[in-house]
Chains A and B, each alone.
Chain A
Amino acid sequence: MSADWLGHRHGSIDNPICRMPATLKLGVSLVIIVGTVLAPMNWTGWFFSVSLILLLTIVLSRTPPIFLLKRLLMLSPFVLGVVLVNAFQSGGRNHWPAVAAKSGLCLLTAILLSNTTPFSDMLRSLKSFRIPALLITTLALMHRYLFVLTDEAERMRRARLSRTFAPGRRFEWRSLSTVVGQLFIRASERAEHIYDAMCARGWK
């Protein structure tokens, strides 16, 4: 239930882009991002073709444009803020529109990548890039329990709210940090159970 506010995987699952191998998508996205950051602004051909590829991906993967726009606006307050402040400053340097455009293109690429590729597939292709197994295991476990622990934190917050009356700020900091501390304790207890379960199923 709470996975949707974390906001990934929108639109249809079954389309040509989603069916492409994850390694290819990861590689192409990496090339696009690195190329876009490094390209000088007068390489109009590069920026034009990148925009075309991204547009094609949006159409083929049937990603709702409203969702993309929302994500872009939500994720780039820093970029927008810096650009706006610079636009109003006298003698501001004129490289800011370029930085904003590049940043936007990279962001769009990353959003499209994560929206069309399941994280487990990404992990599998990262494994083939020779990322150490320990890091892959940690990433997989984190992704698996991310939503469980966020839900748990939300439940603890609700339980705390239903038991306390409008507290003062000092008390609120105390009780919030108790929630965070308790979350850590539960996470480490859960880790022990997971290890037992992994061993029972023949891990290593």
Chain B
Amino acid sequence: MHIPDGFIDGKTAVTAAVLSVAGVGFALRQVKRELPPRKIPLLGLAAAFLFAAQMINFPVAGGTSGHLVGGTLVAALLGPSAAVVVVTTVLIVQCLLFQDGGVMALGANIFNMAIINSIVGYAVYRLVCHRLTGVRGRVTALVFAAWCATVLAAMCCAGQLAWSGTIPWSIAFSAMTTVHMLIGVGEGLISALVFLAVYHSRPDLISEMATPEQPKRLRELVGYGLLTTLGIAAFLAPFACSWPDGLDSVAEKLGFSHKVIAPLLPAPAPDYQVPGIHWATGATALAGAAGTMIVFVLALLLGRWLVPKPKDS
């Protein structure tokens, strides 16, 4: 999902950079406030760990392999603010040292992978943890959260590419979302397995850092909530409206709306519409909700399968 240079234009890069600077600045302040000095080196080591973990390839069918991305996992292990700082560090080093992701696109990459991925992942994780207790609940929550975060980050990436005019929205959205719905399942599974491995040998590492029983912090909720909402409003809202957007209505008025470029990949449910239902917005929402539900049930089953006996519930 690393966007290279040249794929996003000035306005998108600046918007994303402003949002990222605000987000990372806020996360740094939070970390300084709540992390004991003992834990400061852990941020750097966790970043190095994430980089090393991304090098380990998990075999997938047909000779291909995938690897951990890890924003949600780090958020579940260390808390959301630390995760934003850790993933940002990884992205900066990847950009400056290994040229993975563009320099001017760094803001957009940080926004998608460090902020959206960690914050949304952590929010979903906490939300599900409140309903389901025990290790099983945590594993289910992590799988579901990792999937949601991956898909939403991919949507933001598609929105940025479309807003820059590099790739048309229909192609970017269908391609990115379909691919990342599959990647997200792998990401959730790997995150859960790693979480369980840590839990089995050093449960103290998890419980001391980010217990779901922590009191809610209003400042964090407001700050990150505002930031993610602004970002989603900027990158996704122009495309996801039910009424035709500016470009579409201009195209209709000028009478060349039939000259639409054929999509690159035939999507399984084109434009997220369930066949037979003509109410476009409703169908889109329904398809999205159905997909999410399926993944949630999958996560529940996975939690049941991976954690054989509920030890504490």
A: which residues have CB within 8 A of B? 6-8, 29-30, 33-34, 36-38, 71, 75-76, 78-79, 82, 85, 89, 91, 93, 99-100, 102-103, 106-107, 110-111, 113-114, 119, 122, 132, 134-135, 137-146, 148-150, 152-153, 157, 169, 172-174, 176-185, 187-188, 190-192, 194-195, 198, 204
Beyond the given pairs A106-B4, A172-B58, A191-B44, 7 more chain A to chain B contacts, judged by CB atoms under 8 angstroms and listed by A's residue number, are A99-B7, A113-B96, A114-B99, A135-B28, A176-B56, A180-B197, A183-B53
Verify A132–B202 contact, CB threshold 8 A.
Answer: no
Chain A interface, >50% SS class: helix
For B93, the chain A residues whose CB sits under 8 A away are: 119, 139, 142-143, 146
Cβ contacts A to B, 25 pairs, < 8 Å: A8-B97, A30-B103, A37-B6, A75-B100, A102-B6, A103-B4, A107-B102, A113-B96, A114-B97, A119-B97, A134-B85, A135-B24, A135-B88, A138-B47, A138-B85, A157-B56, A174-B193, A176-B56, A176-B58, A177-B196, A180-B53, A181-B193, A184-B205, A185-B201, A188-B45
> Quick one: which of A30, A85, A148, A182 contacts B201, CB cutoff 8 A?
A182
- Cα-based distance from A30 to B25 in the complex (angstroms): 21
Verify B103–A33 contact, CB threshold 8 A.
Answer: yes
A172 nearest CB neighbor, chain B only: B59
Closest 7 CB pairs of A and B: A141-B44, A181-B197, A177-B193, A106-B5, A103-B6, A102-B6, A142-B47
Q: Does B42 contact A (CB under 8 A)?
A: yes
Q: Does B218 contact A (CB under 8 A)?
A: no
- Cα-based distance from A190 to B46 in the complex (angstroms): 10
Known A142-B47, A173-B189, A204-B37: A153·B52 in contact at CB below 8 Å: yes
Q: Does B222 contact A (CB under 8 A)?
A: no
B88 nearest CB neighbor, chain A only: A135
CB proximity of B66 to chain A, nearest CB, Å: 11
CB proximity of A30 to chain B, nearest CB, Å: 7
Verify A149–B194 contact, CB threshold 8 A.
Answer: no
Verify B4–A152 contact, CB threshold 8 A.
Answer: no
Q: Does B92 contact A (CB under 8 A)?
A: yes
Known A78-B4, A119-B97, A146-B48: A37·B194 in contact at CB below 8 Å: no
CB proximity of A187 to chain B, nearest CB, Å: 4
For B42, the chain A residues whose CB sits under 8 A away are: 187-188, 191-192
Annotate B89-116 by CB proximity to A: 1 below 8 A, 0 otherwise.
1101101111110111000000000000
Verify A37–B32 contact, CB threshold 8 A.
Answer: no
Count residues on chain B whose CB falls below 8 Å from chain A CBs: 66
CB proximity of B49 to chain A, nearest CB, Å: 4
B92 nearest CB neighbor, chain A only: A139
A100 nearest CB neighbor, chain B only: B6
> Quick one: which of A78, A93, A99, A142 contacts B48, CB cutoff 8 A?
A142
Verify B193–A187 contact, CB threshold 8 A.
Answer: no
Verify A148–B48 contact, CB threshold 8 A.
Answer: yes
A103 nearest CB neighbor, chain B only: B6
Verify B5–A33 contact, CB threshold 8 A.
Answer: yes
Interface residues of B in 1-32 (CB under 8 A from A): 4-7, 9-10, 13, 24-25, 28, 31-32
Known A8-B98, A146-B52, A181-B194: A134·B59 in contact at CB below 8 Å: no
- Cα-based distance from A79 to B2 in the complex (angstroms): 11
For A110, the chain B residues whose CB sits under 8 A away are: 5, 95-96, 99, 102-103
Q: Does B262 contact A (CB under 8 A)?
A: yes
- Cα-based distance from A30 to B104 in the complex (angstroms): 8
- Cα-based distance from A152 to B48 in the complex (angstroms): 11
